[in-house]
Amino acid sequence: MRLHKKVKDSQGKTIEIFGSNRWQNILIDINSPTSPSFVTHYKKQYGLDEFSSMNTFCPKWMKEFDQYKNDSFFSGILLKFNDDFTKAKVFTFIG
């Protein structure tokens, strides 16, 4: 994984954010129109319906991203969308 950046949380703990920082197309399964759109991250597909939008309870360091999905208490996936929501940048965070 390629390190995108390191940030500190409100308690001074280091969070590492990994990803290529490249836009990728948001994919749609045309054979199943009721299936959610998805992105691919390190050869794994994630449906956009698995993610939560940022809210007031999210840590300050997460606010530059649009959505998140926690894998555990200390790690997860972050999404940043382009202006017309056709592309996304996908990142992994580990704290």
Could you read off the pLDDT of 4-20 as tens digits, one per residue?
999 999 899 999 999 98
For residue 32, the model assigns a pLDDT of: 74
Please state the domain count of the chain.
1
User: What pLDDT, in 10s, does the model give residues 26-81?
Assistant: 988 777 767 779 898 888 889 999 999 988 888 889 999 999 999 998 899 999 99
Model pTM?
A: 0.87
Q: Which phi and psi (to 5°) does residue 15 adopt?
A: -115, 130
At residue 66, what is the residue type?
D
Strand partners, 24: 88
- DSSP state letter for 42: T
For residue 40, the model assigns a pLDDT of: 87
For residue 82, the model assigns a pLDDT of: 95
**Which range marks the domain in which residue 71 is found?**
3-94
Contacts of 67 (CB under 8 A, 6+ apart): 48, 51, 52, 53, 54, 78, 79, 81
